[in-house]
Structure 1
Amino acid sequence: MSCLICGPKLATCGVVISIWGVIMLAMLGVFFRTHSAVLIEDVPLTEEDFRDTNPPQKIYGIYNQVAYNCFIAAAIYVVVGVFSFCQISLNKRKEYLVQ
């Protein structure tokens, strides 16, 4: 029993978008993990974070949390890519059996 959900074009689009998402989010995760100063505007900081007794460690902790979130999103893109690849193979098998 095959679980064919989407067509070949949608499955191919899913694979392409997943590859791009994994590359982009993995790179963002690495840059957040290295505490890149360019990404400071993307870190959800509050005034209390600067009033802490040790502000750099608090800010680095928030950077690490954002990096962790990027890696989780990249893993979700991997799952979507694997699903899309399976859909491509199911579509090819269906096409082969029809001929």
Structure 2
Amino acid sequence: MSITPSVFHMLEKLIGRRLLVIIDKDFGYEGVMTAVSQHPPGLWMAEAEAVILRSSLANPLPQVASREKRSELFINLNSVLRIEVLHRQQ
């Protein structure tokens, strides 16, 4: 799977921001993006947490149900379903 260079330019603008990276419909990682690599295509995250997502008929949008502390991790972009940029806390 090939990833276009423009995706890397967009991701580089998000360095230092807090992201929620969805890997599976029920699983993802939340943390601060520290770097982007092109070979292999991926994200480096710090202060990361593994998150379990749950949705219901009453609330179909997935919400974080639980968290597990991680330190730093690399996420290959070929396995990412969605990336959400979290709002900065005031």
TM-score in terms of structure 1 length: 0.23
**Bigger relative contact order, structure 1 or 2, given CA contacts below 8 A and separation 6+?**
1
Structure number with higher helix proportion: 1
Structure number with higher strand proportion: 2
TM-score in terms of structure 2 length: 0.25
